[in-house]
Amino acid sequence: MNERRPPRKRTAWSWRSRAVRGLVYQLLALVAIAGAVWFLAHNTQENMRVRGIQSGFDFLGQAAGFDIGETMVAYDPSQSYGKALWVGVLNTLRVAVIGVVLTTLIGVLMGVGRFSHNALVRGICYGYVELFRNVPVLLQLLMWYLFFVDVLPPPQAAWNAGDLFFLSKGGLSMPWPVWASGHAWMALGALLGVVAGVAYRRWAQRQFELTGQDRNRWLLPLAAVLVLAALGWMLGGAPREWSLPEQLAFMVDGGVAATPEFMAVLVGLVTYTGSFVAEVVRGGIQSVGHGQTEAASALGLSRRQQMRLVILPQALRVIIPPLTNQYLNLTKNSSLAVAIGYPDVVSIANTTLNQTGRAVECISIIMLVYLSTSLSTSALMNAYNQRVAIKER
């Protein structure tokens, strides 16, 4: 016998309906915002036309005519302003991505170290946080830049580590593989290893919840990444050619080099933001009730197991939201790199503005870049936050 479904509840299109009023208010708000944006854009364009100021983004296709000292992709001055701005965007993302990874590692280590039983370790972590948190980030960038360009030796007398790493006023030079198709296969294998490792960690977590048996969740995933990357490397022809740095009479040639400007920006932002992340981690750990630690001790878990299996998983629910803010701060603070000459998107946009006079367009591009990176970071962190959040039943 077929069960009759209850009739679908229809929305009463009446002003007395709260849903209808809410929809109308939202439409009115959207119309008001769109009207305000149109008025500002039209007014700006009209004022620029009256004053004879050119507008539009057609300049992006014109030849830039200026060089960029540090690029991740091939670039020369004969190429367009659009390509130059793209180089700046990549330089900004380079600092942001590497900075977020290093900041997380340093912040977690320093935050957990604040709870160490060793007084020396606690003192070092406390001193690190208080020193770098209370000095303005711009001063730290200038301090690190002066260290890299004044304190370090010249390239002909660079600090040497095994004839592989050279540190001097010219930057940090290190070995780098010569690109071949085998490296693409190796990257694909490593990616498959990461997927397999994530699947294994989820399986191990479910088994732990069902049986109470804890498995190592780092060794096998790491082995999967290394083994699959090695298989991809061998399938791609096992390329072995490396570009090694070599100290010459007046410079260090070969390999890959990180410029003093890049290193100053990266180290300054990582040490500054890492001190705030350490405090976020410390606050998250302290938010876990002491009874959880006592219960873990009663079960016979070691202090390391307590931190890894009991305290940190619960603290993540408190850590993730403010941690997202610190990631956003690091990305936006990278715009201060213009003060020490690092060619990020702000620096290149300023040069473009001075040459073309397109102030509104260049500022709009800068705003779009930082808005896009901030929204992307927030979306990823919000998705992870929902994954670790407490599930209501």
In this predicted model, what pLDDT tens digit does every residue of 356-389 receive, in sequence order?
888 888 999 999 999 999 999 999 998 888 877 6
What tokens appear for 206 in the block?
A: 């479910």
Q: Residue 333: CB partners within 8 Å, gap ≥ 6?
A: 137, 269, 272, 273
**Does residue 347 carry a pLDDT above 70?**
yes
Q: What percent of the chain has pLDDT over 90?
A: 40
What tokens appear for 23 in the block?
A: 């929809």
> CA nearest 261: which of 146, 174, 342?
342
Angstrom distance (rounded) from CA 324 to CA 156: 43
- Arithmetic mean of pLDDT, 136-164: 89
Q: Residue 269: CB partners within 8 Å, gap ≥ 6?
A: 95, 99, 103, 137, 141, 330, 333, 334
- DSSP, collapsed to helix, strand or coil, labels residue 320 as helix
Question: Mean pLDDT lowest for which of 140-144, 263-267, 299-303, 337-341?
Answer: 299-303
Torsion, Cα 285 290 295 299, to 10 degrees, reads 50
**Does residue 308 carry a pLDDT above 80?**
no
What tokens appear for 157 in the block?
A: 């007398």
State residue 324's pLDDT score.
Answer: 93
**CB distance 67 to 78 below 8 Å:** no
Strand 256-258: give its sheet, edge to edge. 159-161, 165-168, 171-174, 256-258
State residue 273's pLDDT score.
Answer: 96
Angstrom distance (rounded) from CA 309 to CA 208: 10
Angstrom distance (rounded) from CA 202 to CA 208: 10
What number of other Cβ atoms are within 10 A of residue 114's Cβ? Answer: 20
The CATH fold of domain 81-157+260-388? MetI-like fold (1.10.3720)
**Global confidence as pTM:** 0.81
Please, which pLDDT band fits residue 4 given cuts at 50, 70 and 90?
low
> CA nearest 226: which of 279, 277, 269, 189?
189
State residue 243's pLDDT score.
Answer: 85
What tokens appear for 317 in the block?
A: 């629910």
pLDDT digits (tens, 9 = 90+) for 183-195: 889 999 999 999 9
State residue 1's pLDDT score.
Answer: 46
**Does residue 59 carry a pLDDT above 60?**
yes
Question: Mean pLDDT lowest for which of 81-90, 128-137, 150-159?
Answer: 150-159
For residue 6, report the phi and psi dihedrals to the nearest 5 degrees: -65, 145
Angstrom distance (rounded) from CA 245 to CA 168: 13
State residue 9's pLDDT score.
Answer: 54
DSSP assignment letter at 217: S
- Arithmetic mean of pLDDT, 95-102: 94
- Arithmetic mean of pLDDT, 79-104: 94
- Residue 348, judged by CB atoms within 10 A of its CB (0-12, 13-18, 19+), counts as buried
- Arithmetic mean of pLDDT, 3-29: 74
What is the rounded average pLDDT for all residues in the chain?
Answer: 87
**Does residue 355 carry a pLDDT above 70?**
yes
- Higher pLDDT, residue 56 or 337: 337
Q: What are the sequence ranges of the domains in the chain?
A: 27-53, 81-157+260-388
